[in-house]
Amino acid sequence: MLLKDRVAFVTGAGSGIGRAGALALAREGARVIVSDLDAARAAAVAAEIGAAGGRAEALALDAGDDAAVEGAITGTAARHGRLDILHSHAGIQIAGPLLDVTADQMDASWRLNVRAHFVAARAAMSVMKPAGRGSILVTASNSGVQYDRGMIAYCTTKHAVVAMVRQIAVDYAPFGVRCNALCPGFVDTAFNAGFETQMGGRAALEGYVRETIPMGRWGSPEEIADGIVYLASDRSSFMTGHALVIDGAESL
């Protein structure tokens, strides 16, 4: 097992990519703290891990609540005597070009897509730096390495979080802590609601996926989860500050 006895904390783990990542980390031996805004979803994922023979704890957590996030992450480290992995995954997608997005909507995007990751990473680093080890993963998007038409809030924040990850990486590499960005492309989850609305419905979105992505299909949450395990584990021990793009070549 790649992650035997390691402790992993995941935000936004109740569904989609977050859920798939939590399941994959647990299969590789990690004890996973499954946090989500929806307590029932978090509990369901933790139960799924337990039923498969893994170890997990469920936690209701608003990723936008600074104090709650800090307390949950440092509390996890204190309770288990270590914190090896943070996957800060929770995010929001607000569609629209400049004239269609309000300042409040941009603030909401920034709060969850950048600030929340900063708060979570800062809390994890306070534990990982003294320990001299750790892997921090932040979910960005392939929108953080390219530009999507009519998605100013989403693209701006995703580019920002990639820059933040790289800055954390260079600042803390000497202390044994790695920090990388996960950049998925189109994965068939409920998170695509903004793109679906923008494109005029499900059929139009499916057509876009077929025509625009060179591989001609969606990615699966499980395919992204393989990338999560890679970044979390020692398989990527010489990788930090990287934006790992998994998108079927859409961004090329």
Average pLDDT over residues 4-33: 97
Residue 54 pLDDT? 98
The single-letter DSSP state of residue 94 is -
Report pLDDT for 191.
74
Percent of residues in the chain assigned helix, strand, coil, to nearest 5:
55, 15, 30
Q: Which CATH architecture has domain 7-246?
A: 3-Layer(aba) Sandwich (3.40)
Strand ranges for the chain from DSSP E: 7-10, 31-36, 55-60, 85-88, 134-139, 177-184, 243-246
Measured between alpha carbons, how far is 64 from 181 in angstroms, rounded to an integer? 19
Which residue has better confidence, 200 or 64?
Answer: 64
What residues does each domain of the chain span?
7-246
**Between β-strands 7-10 and 85-88, what pairing exists: parallel, antiparallel or unpaired?**
parallel
pLDDT score at 67? 98
Residue 240: band (very low, low, confident or very high) from pLDDT cuts 50, 70, 90: very high
CA torsion sign for 237, 241, 246, 252 is negative
| Angstrom distance (rounded) from CA 219 to CA 222 | 8
Quote the pTM value. 0.95
Edge-to-edge strands, sheet with 243-246: 55-60, 31-36, 7-10, 85-88, 134-139, 177-184, 243-246
Say if residue 207's pLDDT is above 90: no
pLDDT band at 230 (very low <50, low <70, confident <90, very high): very high
- Cβ neighbours for 199, distance < 8 A, ≥ 6 positions apart: 205, 208
Summarize pLDDT for 34-61 with one digit per residue, the tens: 999 999 999 999 999 999 999 999 999 9
Question: Is residue 154 flagged as an active site residue?
Answer: yes
Q: Is the pLDDT of residue 153 over 80?
A: yes
CA distance 89 to 99: 28
Does the structure show a pLDDT above 90 at 178?
yes
Q: What percent of the chain stands above pLDDT 70?
A: 99
What pLDDT is recorded for position 204?
84
Provide the total of helices (H) and of strands (E) in the chain, helices listed first: 9, 7
Please, which pLDDT band fits residue 157 given cuts at 50, 70 and 90?
Answer: very high
Other CB atoms within 10 A of residue 150 CB: 16
213 close to 153: Cβ distance less than 8 angstroms: no
Cα(63)–Cα(86) distance, rounded to whole angstroms? Answer: 13
Show the tokens assigned to 42. 């978090």
- Select which of 147, 154, 208, 230 is catalytic: 154
Query: How much is the mean pLDDT over the chain?
Result: 95
User: How many angstroms separate the CA atoms of 247 and 132, rounded?
Assistant: 32
For the cut 90, the answer to whether the pLDDT of residue 208 exceeds it is no
Q: 63-96, pLDDT tens digit by residue?
A: 999 999 999 999 999 999 999 999 999 999 998 9
